[in-house]
Amino acid sequence: MWLNIDSFEEYKDVYKESVENPEEFWEHEAGTFYWRKRWEETHSGSFKNGDVKWFEGGKLNITENCLDRHLNTIGNKTAFIFEPNHPDSFRRTITYRQLHEDVCRFANVLESKGIEKGDRVAIYMAMTPELMIAALACARIGAVHSIVFAGFSAQSLAERIQDCDAKMLITNDGLRRGEKHVPLKDISDEALEDCPSVKKVIVCQRTNRDIDWVEGRDEWWHLLIRNAPKEHEAVEMDAEDPLFILYTSGSTGKPKGQVHTCGGYMVYTSYTFRNVFQVEEEDVYWCTADAGWITGHSYILYGPLLNGASSIIFEGTPTYPDAGRLWEVCEKYGVTHFYTSPTAIRALMKEDIEYVNKYDLSSLKVLGSVGEPINEEAWHWYHDKIGNGQCPIVDTWWQTETGGIMISPLAGVTPTKPGFATLPLPGIQPALVDKNGKEIDGNGVQGNLVIKYPWPGMTRGIWGNEERYKETYFADYPGYYFTGDGCRRDEDGYYRITGRVDDVLNVSGHRLGTAEIENAIDEHPKVIEAAIVGYPHDVKGEGIFAFMTCDNGVSEPEDFKKEIHDLVSKIISPIAKPDKIQIVDGLPKTRSGKIMRRILRNVAAGETDDMGDTSTLLDPSVVDEIIAGKAY
């Protein structure tokens, strides 16, 4: 029997048990899946050594659990509903049986093109069912997928392909997002100039625009799939074999390829999906994230399929053709579970309420929030205007590294509180530590958020860089996993995430390293040095503020800002463009040459009354100059 917690009392009991007997707890959960061979060791390794493993020796294929297992029971049930960018374009539904067939066909295609177990395959695609099919087909043959968000530049794509030596790239001719057209194949061609490891490119038609073609390398998806057999015997994997790599920003310049595994990730995403959202048989679940981020991996692709849910794949944006788009889709399909980001909520609450009132949202039962702290105003608007005061909000805290939701209410079970991710899921043991790594006991306290005990869904490594993995997560506080987040635990023991405590920004729920953006800006011939900080932004949560010193100053700051935007878009992505720039004569540096970011953060936030101790600065007079300067 699957564990399904449905009362707060039960939650407390199960939580207690999960802490007292963690291995039994996860064994029970893992036992609900189809394994070709049961695992030998439930859990081994430690945070101390950075060598955690789960269900080692267990043999499985995750796609048998996502698809084959359902064929006899819910084969004709809708797995995916595809809603295109424009509401009048072709939409379709795909049953579990059809999805199984499509995945098998494409798995055969991949094998026929020489892709084998362990090979890496990069996926750079529009949000369509084919993206999911591509990823599942990789999983079926044991290839490691690396999905790259289709908003990233050629250079970012190339960097990710090179880092994992991908053998193949799967892309579209192009995509449409709102009014915008993104020429994915052109961008891919540019990226591949520097990626000798890629021998084959499969192109799935979406926009039908003219594209360049490299004979012998490029092939059309639709031609390949046509004659591919619809049966495929899934490749047997070990629980600890890698399932996918997903790159995420850290405090240094280079993105980190987080490695998730076949067994532990499967158990964890499935368990969290079921208990957090409490989706029932007839429900229609919709997560608006993009598959290029972990939310899309865990809660559009794997979590819902593992649980046999029906879920929506949405290609569009919240404001196209107008700001009622999300609510229109909710009405059209009778959505019961809706999971989105605080940024989307904040953007939509600024619009005329008629965009909401026009639609019948009475099918909604549960609302979810993910990716950034949700402010109380947005929480209340979401609760009252979208949920009609009737739907629990699950504010889910987690990370790319955690694989799945860690701290969150269980829908309808955990009493909620605006702005709080509330309590840890059973199996998860959070703690707060002070700067010296000492655990802070009791309630009504604040500190850095760490996790005390391993869980099956956690990242097993940074691709090709074991040292960096150990250093990033396990070195600051030995014996713990360090999240990089600050957190408050209130009088009731409820957790409220306060934001990153490292040099990582969270802009519209997108995680961006300040060093990455600084490196991009430094490429401008005029720029001597750039320093990036975040500042409170009423829609994006955090905005990007770039301070920089320039050769000979800048005479046309508006034009210069555009050049910086173009440069950052080209090197990283439009999502990393600074909202504000300020040219300064000097950056506030300590005698040892470190930029004192605290000062810049205060200026960016407009909080300049008390700048604190500036005596360690090499030249304290720069502070007044920066305060008096003008931002564009």
Give the footprint of ligand PRX on this chain (CB under 6 A): 248, 293-295, 370-373, 395-400, 421, 483-485, 497, 499-500, 506, 511
- Smaller CB distance to ligand PRX: residue 176 or 496? 496
Name which of 325, 109, 105, 108 is nearest 202 in CA terms: 109
Shortest reach from residue 405's CB to ligand PRX, in Å: 8
Half-sphere exposure of 497 (CA within 13 A, CB side): 27
- Smaller CB distance to ligand PRX: residue 42 or 248? 248
Name which of 141, 101, 104 is nearest 121 in CA terms: 141
Read off φ and ψ for residue 596, nearest 5 degrees.
Answer: -85, 95
Rounded Cα–Cα distance for residues 325 and 335 (Å): 13
Shortest reach from residue 494's CB to ligand PRX, in Å: 13
Shortest reach from residue 363's CB to ligand PRX, in Å: 24
Name which of 489, 363, 343, 521 is nearest 421 in CA terms: 489
Shortest reach from residue 395's CB to ligand PRX, in Å: 5
Shortest reach from residue 400's CB to ligand PRX, in Å: 3
Shortest reach from residue 220's CB to ligand PRX, in Å: 33
- Smaller CB distance to ligand PRX: residue 323 or 504? 504
- Smaller CB distance to ligand PRX: residue 303 or 324? 303
Shortest reach from residue 102's CB to ligand PRX, in Å: 27
Shortest reach from residue 153's CB to ligand PRX, in Å: 18
- Smaller CB distance to ligand PRX: residue 372 or 503? 372
Shortest reach from residue 501's CB to ligand PRX, in Å: 9
The closest residue (CB) to ligand PRX is 400
- Smaller CB distance to ligand PRX: residue 324 or 484? 484
Q: What is the largest CA-CA distance in the chain?
A: 74
Name which of 408, 426, 406 is nearest 417 in CA terms: 408
- Smaller CB distance to ligand PRX: residue 274 or 589? 274
Q: How many helical (H) and strand (E) elements, i.e. helices and strands, does the chain have?
A: 21, 30
- Read off the amino acid at residue 384: D
Rounded Cα–Cα distance for residues 579 and 577 (Å): 6
**What value does the CA radius of gyration of the chain take, rounded to a whole number of Å?**
24
- Smaller CB distance to ligand PRX: residue 55 or 302? 302
Q: Can you read off the two tokens belonging to residue 24?
A: 């039994």
- Read off the amino acid at residue 123: I
Cβ proximity of 339 and 286 under 8 Å: yes
Cβ proximity of 343 and 102 under 8 Å: no
- Smaller CB distance to ligand PRX: residue 373 or 588? 373
Shortest reach from residue 500's CB to ligand PRX, in Å: 5
DSSP character string of 340-389? E-HHHHHHHHTS-THHHHTS--TT--EEEEESSPPPHHHHHHIIIIISTT
DSSP character string of 13-30? HHHHHHHHSHHHHHHHHH
Shortest reach from residue 422's CB to ligand PRX, in Å: 10
Rounded Cα–Cα distance for residues 604 and 619 (Å): 20
Rounded Cα–Cα distance for residues 100 and 265 (Å): 20
Rounded Cα–Cα distance for residues 148 and 33 (Å): 29
Cβ proximity of 152 and 122 under 8 Å: no
- Smaller CB distance to ligand PRX: residue 106 or 339? 339
Shortest reach from residue 404's CB to ligand PRX, in Å: 9
- Smaller CB distance to ligand PRX: residue 374 or 611? 374
Cβ proximity of 521 and 555 under 8 Å: no
Q: Which residues pair with 285 in a beta bridge?
A: 311, 337
Shortest reach from residue 249's CB to ligand PRX, in Å: 8
Shortest reach from residue 5's CB to ligand PRX, in Å: 20
- Smaller CB distance to ligand PRX: residue 33 or 455? 455
- Smaller CB distance to ligand PRX: residue 26 or 420? 420
Q: Can you read off the two tokens belonging to residue 227?
A: 């004659």
The helix or strand, by DSSP H or E, that contains position 337, with its residue range, turns out to be strand 337-340
- Smaller CB distance to ligand PRX: residue 100 or 346? 346
Name which of 310, 270, 245, 229 is nearest 60 in CA terms: 270
Rounded Cα–Cα distance for residues 124 and 191 (Å): 11
Cβ proximity of 201 and 195 under 8 Å: no
Q: Which residues pair with 246 in a beta bridge?
A: 258
- Read off the amino acid at residue 22: P
- Read off the amino acid at residue 387: G
